Structure 1
Amino acid sequence: MIRTPLRPLARILKARDQGENPDRIEAENRRLRHEQMQDRARQRAEGRLLVLAGMFFLAFCTIGLRMGVLAGTVPEEPTAQARGNPIIGQRADILDRNGRILATNLQTHSLYAQPPQMVDPEKAATELAAIFPELDAEELLEDFTGERRFLWIRREISPEQMQAVHDIGDPGLLFGPREMRLYPNGALAAHILGGASYGREGVSSAEVIGVAGVEKFFDDQLRDPANEGAPLHLSLDLTVQAASERVLQGGMMLMNAKGASSVLMDVHTGEVISMLSLPDFDPNDRPRVLTEGDQGDSPLFNRAVQGVYELGSVFKIFTVAQAMELGLVNPDTVIDTSGPLTWGRFRIRDFRDYGDELSVSEVIVKSSNIGTARIAQTIGAERQRDFLGQLGFLEPTPAEMVEAPTGVPLLPPNWSEISTMTISYGHGLSSSPLHLAAGYASLLNGGTRVEPTLLRRDRPQRGPRVVSEEVSAAARLMLRQVVSEGTASFGDVEGYAVGGKTGTADKPRPTGGYYEDKTIATFASVFPADDPEYVLIVTLDEPQIEALGETRRTAGWTAVPVAAEMIRRVAPLLDMRPDVETLTPVGVTLTSN
């Protein structure tokens, strides 16, 4: 840019010659220069404003277009995406029906080593073996000095062990935070809870997964973050479970039994209030599965659900109830009980001679095999099978456990007439104690089907009708008579009107036939019998007790006393008030003159 001089010489000289003031020329030139500068500044400002206006216009158009696109799309819930495959460590608690903890999580630490970072591997190996006796110092040293760059030492350690390892002071020994599954009640309800273990593991967390029981059945629910840690409420009552286990454990030892199981179930809701299988285990230290021998001898085996047995005479009430429902008999109908009852090469006998005739009620009270078999002949195989199917005896129970589908009833390959006769008194068909509990509940609650559940329910089940209310009431009366005057006299509990039926079945040999000195003793009971609330099944495996100079193996001497003591203990815990007659006061009465 060429700048014009403020005092051009030619004009200055000319102005002096003409007598003008030269300063006016300088002032004029200065004014013109300022005007030019102002014009240029105004042009730059106008250009900048134009560019800024253009940018605002583009931004407005972009935002408006985006808003138009969003307005025209279907609304969706926002989703979060994360790279990688994170390990979910949180697992929801499991509670009993009253909110008491059955399973929860405990914050702990894992211990691992990075050998390249270790300063003194030999010292570390020696001191770790002293802290953890199950570790071998030589094997640790071999791992520490080898080519391994990472080594798990312990998946879980206590705070005391963590401090001891920290005192070693080796930078190659590192800790990782994690959660472990804790069962604060130990072995109590072990078979129901099952247990948990670790799935995917990392140095900073581990995935806790269920391996058995309800832990595995509800694994997805317990680990689902969408549930926000909401606990799982079971139908169990922890106090009743503890009292039942104490009684059953003592009864099993007193009766010299190999194993035992019990099921306490609400007859209206199907809720399992207590379920036991002995021997049991501690889910905090779950034992390994047997690799040889009979799996039924393993403490992991759930006798109440997985164990299917011929349960004996407890089935007789089903036969009589069906016959009454079909109108074939009534409680007073006389049945021919002369014996033995012969069918081909088979002979059916009673435990003792009951005479040639018994009423239907007496067949149940005295537990006559012959009388029950004759009633079953009038029912027929097809109708018997259909009735037992309605009660749930032909398929696994729907209980919320991964073991439930394995408790498959063993049915006769050919449901012939002789099968009908033997099944009527509990032989030839094997089922679990949980099957039996559901069957008794369905029959005695008024006659409607209930299915066992391990989840808490607030209302009765509304299953299909199995028998009429009249037949259900008649069956309850017969079972009450079994306790008051029949084979279960040791089962009477003052104030609770217990009804029930005994069952003693010989154990089958693996090679065929039956043992003569090994039995399964069962007592299926209901209380109170006049207005049932609960069904209790107690089963003892190979019980025997010396009484009155003889070895007793029948349920009346073994399972019945155990069940009676269990009812005596748990009924008050279930808020059941005993029905005791009030005596008239006796003494001196003050009267006025």
Structure 2
Amino acid sequence: MIRTPLRPLARILRAREKGENPDVIEAENLAQRHAVIQDAARGRAQGRLTIMAMAFVVAFGAVGVRMGTLAAAQPTEPSAMASSAAIISQRADITDRHGRVLATNLLTHSLYAHPRQMVDPEGAAKKLAAIFPDLSLERLQKDFSGKRSFVWIKKKISPEQMQAVHDIGEPGLLFGPREMRLYPNGRIASHILGGSTFGKEDVASAEVIGVAGVEKAFDRWLRDPGNDGAPLTLSLDLSAQAAMEEVLANGMKVMNAKGATGILMEVKTGEIVAMASLPDFDPNDRPRPLLKGDPSDSPLFNRAVQGQYELGSTFKIFPVAQAIDLKLVSPTTMINANAPMKIGKYLINEFRGHNYGTLSVTDIIVKSSNVGTVRVAQLLGPERQKDLLEKLGFFEPTPIEMSEGPTGKPLVPKRWPAVTSATVAFGHGLAASPLHLATAYATVANGGKRVTPTLIHDRTRREGEQVLSPSAAHTAVQLLRQVVIRGSGRSANVEGYEVAGKTGTADKPRPTGGYYGNKVVSTFASTFPASDPQYVLVLSLDEPSAIGAGGESRTAGATSAPVAAEVIRRVAPLLGLRPQVEKPLPMIERPLDDELKLVSN
């Protein structure tokens, strides 16, 4: 910018010629210059004020808009914006197939202390010990009087306990909100649910994690925020589960058994409607596992899945069904069942020294002949026998959706000589879980099409392999029906429900080798109704001993079969099965003229 001179020479000279004062000209120019400078400064100041005013308008406008948005929005719980959040406490519910809650969350509080803020540490310790009898007074006094600045007292307390602690009036005792896992049905389905505990935790929240059962198997799914709180729906029916557990508990007492297990499964889908193992526990107060001794002595032990038992004569239907499928025999084929039978240096005997002579295939199952079953198994040969058992699932753990599933691997003989083939045919020498047996019986009842057990309701499944022909499977079910009508399973007959099943009594092996002479596992494996199988029930008692008119008995026909009958009598109506008038079965035990052939070795 070019400034105007304060004393322009031309004006100064003219002013001197006229006798005027030249300083007046300088003063006028200086005033004009100052006016220009002031106008420029005023303009800059006004610009700054305008910008500041606009900034304030925008800022307060944004705050106002945000406040209006929050005021108009519905209140919601805050959720983690990323999967890396430190603690995710929310856990989905678990329900039965009808939506009844089996496991849920409960808002509670934790109790902790800041000893340095306490006014009367000794008095607070005494009052806390009175409220919580499980706490040690000496330990509390030591913690409160030491150098610690933070002490956990209880990870979860009830509202009543919280009020009692609040009434102490000690400023150093503080509460933290958190969620805990609640099992509202107590012991019911405890082995299936498993239980939970706290993982990561602080004073304001805690991460609930599964420790066993479906809680552990589906732990990641149950904690996934992406599921939007949808419950995990199990295949269990809470009413059927409760009824089974009640009957099993009473059966254990009556039969003086050490333990019991029961599995009720849908034939078509493999869905487990009820599964119980006794003794059980309360998952709300899960006991500690045993560190030594027999694992089955612990209430945490799931006999249905983890138990490995020789299941006795319940196996006899498998070689017979396979031989019928291969058309090696028919129900009326006569078999040489003379006992004892010698295989190498070993003798195969019948129960209580019986010698049945010649039996039809039907009567081999009805009378539960060891020798007759071995004769049929010899027609198959070891390879075909092993092939069927493998297809039925007896060589691998069941794929059940529980953390304990992989631990229930059957004990299968490494070698399979003739004597092993014989003993496996009548349920000895191969140990499997009751769930394996239930799955195999479901496959037979399902027209020979393999069934996969599951605890999840309405899951899409692939169709199973055809293990047996439908006709052979149907015939096998009719043979099992004969066992209940006129064989060792008569005590399991429930009028109107066409129960078909097989008893099995197996001596328990000693840990040091050999077998106990007075300890057995008695099992009854069944399906009903026989004319159109809908359900499979397997029930086992560990070391039962029934006292009756004939004295003491440990056989499955006297112990597990009557308990199974009571389970069916109680559960079938809950499942919507109405008793039907039964049609008389054909007398398949009588041989036809063209079937009078004798199978013998």
Instruction: Compute the TM-score of the two structures, normalised by the length of structure 2.
Output: 0.84
Residue of structure 2 equivalent to 1:507: 508
Matches within 5 A, 1:1-12: none
Q: Does 1:175 align with 2:172?
A: no
Residue of structure 1 equivalent to 2:163: 163
Q: CA 1:317/1:247 → structure 2, altered by over 3 Å: closer, same or farther?
A: same
TM-superposed CA distance for 1:211, in Å, is: 0.4
Give the AA of the match of 2:439: A
Number of matched pairs? 539
CA distance in 2, matches of 1:200, 1:532: 48
Residue of structure 2 equivalent to 1:556: 557
Residue of structure 1 equivalent to 2:524: 523
CA distance in 2, matches of 1:117, 1:524: 65
TM-superposed CA distance for 1:547, in Å, is: 1.5
Q: Does 1:415 align with 2:416?
A: yes
CA distance in 2, matches of 1:83, 1:180: 21
TM-superposed CA distance for 1:114, in Å, is: 1.0
Q: CA 1:39/1:253 → structure 2, altered by over 3 Å: closer, same or farther?
A: closer
Residue by residue over 1:546-584, the C-alpha shift from the partner in whole angstroms, topping out at 9 and shown as x without a partner, is: 1123211101111111111110111111111211379xx
CA distance in 1, matches of 2:374, 2:306: 28
Residue of structure 2 equivalent to 1:127: 127
1:268 touches 1:460 (CA, 8 Å); kept in 2? no
TM-superposed CA distance for 1:4, in Å, is: 9.1
Give the AA of the match of 2:282: D
TM-superposed CA distance for 1:375, in Å, is: 0.8
TM-superposed CA distance for 1:16, in Å, is: 13
Residue of structure 1 equivalent to 2:276: 276
1:499 touches 1:526 (CA, 8 Å); kept in 2? yes
CA distance in 2, matches of 1:83, 1:327: 60
Give the AA of the match of 2:298: S
TM-superposed CA distance for 1:138, in Å, is: 2.3
TM-superposed CA distance for 1:510, in Å, is: 1.4
1:269 touches 1:461 (CA, 8 Å); kept in 2? no
Q: Does 1:313 align with 2:301?
A: no
Residue of structure 1 equivalent to 2:333: 333
Q: CA 1:140/1:450 → structure 2, altered by over 3 Å: closer, same or farther?
A: same
CA distance in 2, matches of 1:374, 1:13: 153
TM-superposed CA distance for 1:129, in Å, is: 0.9
Q: CA 1:289/1:83 → structure 2, altered by over 3 Å: closer, same or farther?
A: closer
Q: Does 1:383 align with 2:384?
A: yes
Residue by residue over 1:243-283, the C-alpha shift from the partner in whole angstroms, topping out at 9 and shown as x without a partner, is: 11111111111111110000000111000100000000000
Matches within 5 A, 1:460-539: 462-539=463-540
CA distance in 1, matches of 2:461, 2:212: 28
SS in 2 for 1:188: coil
SS in 1 for 2:149: coil
Residue of structure 2 equivalent to 1:454: 455
1:262 touches 1:275 (CA, 8 Å); kept in 2? yes
Give the AA of the match of 1:550: G
Residue of structure 1 equivalent to 2:255: 255
CA distance in 2, matches of 1:318, 1:394: 15
SS in 1 for 2:376: helix
Q: Does 1:393 align with 2:394?
A: yes
Q: Which runs of 5+ in 1 are unaligned?
A: 18-25, 53-78, 583-593
CA distance in 2, matches of 1:135, 1:88: 29
CA distance in 1, matches of 2:39, 2:456: 86
Residue of structure 2 equivalent to 1:356: 357
Q: CA 1:317/1:542 → structure 2, altered by over 3 Å: closer, same or farther?
A: same
Q: CA 1:435/1:329 → structure 2, altered by over 3 Å: closer, same or farther?
A: same
SS in 2 for 1:474: helix
CA distance in 2, matches of 1:189, 1:461: 27
Matches within 5 A, 1:48-447: 86-351=86-351, 353-447=354-448
Give the AA of the match of 2:323: A
1:365 touches 1:485 (CA, 8 Å); kept in 2? yes
CA distance in 1, matches of 2:539, 2:560: 6
SS in 1 for 2:309: coil
Residue by residue over 1:457-489, the C-alpha shift from the partner in whole angstroms, topping out at 9 and shown as x without a partner, is: 266751010010100110011011111111111
SS in 1 for 2:431: coil
CA distance in 1, matches of 2:355, 2:475: 22
SS in 2 for 1:315: helix
CA distance in 2, matches of 1:132, 1:453: 42
The RMSD of aligned alpha carbons is: 2.9
Q: CA 1:498/1:81 → structure 2, altered by over 3 Å: closer, same or farther?
A: closer
TM-superposed CA distance for 1:149, in Å, is: 1.0
Give the AA of the match of 1:107: L
SS in 1 for 2:512: coil
Give the AA of the match of 2:524: F
Residue by residue over 1:295-349, the C-alpha shift from the partner in whole angstroms, topping out at 9 and shown as x without a partner, is: 1111000000000100000000001011112221111111100110011221111
CA distance in 1, matches of 2:535, 2:289: 34
CA distance in 2, matches of 1:110, 1:39: 71
- Report sequence identity in percent: 59
Q: CA 1:202/1:42 → structure 2, altered by over 3 Å: closer, same or farther?
A: closer
Residue of structure 1 equivalent to 2:544: 543
CA distance in 1, matches of 2:247, 2:84: 52
CA distance in 1, matches of 2:313, 2:512: 24
Give the AA of the match of 2:228: E
CA distance in 2, matches of 1:305, 1:344: 35
Q: CA 1:458/1:120 → structure 2, altered by over 3 Å: closer, same or farther?
A: closer
CA distance in 1, matches of 2:377, 2:90: 55
CA distance in 2, matches of 1:143, 1:39: 76
Residue of structure 2 equivalent to 1:21: none
SS in 2 for 1:419: helix
Give the AA of the match of 2:433: S
2:109 touches 2:155 (CA, 8 Å); kept in 1? yes
Worse overlay, 239-248 or 82-91: 82-91
Residue of structure 2 equivalent to 1:571: 572
1:433 touches 1:539 (CA, 8 Å); kept in 2? yes
Q: CA 1:144/1:368 → structure 2, altered by over 3 Å: closer, same or farther?
A: same
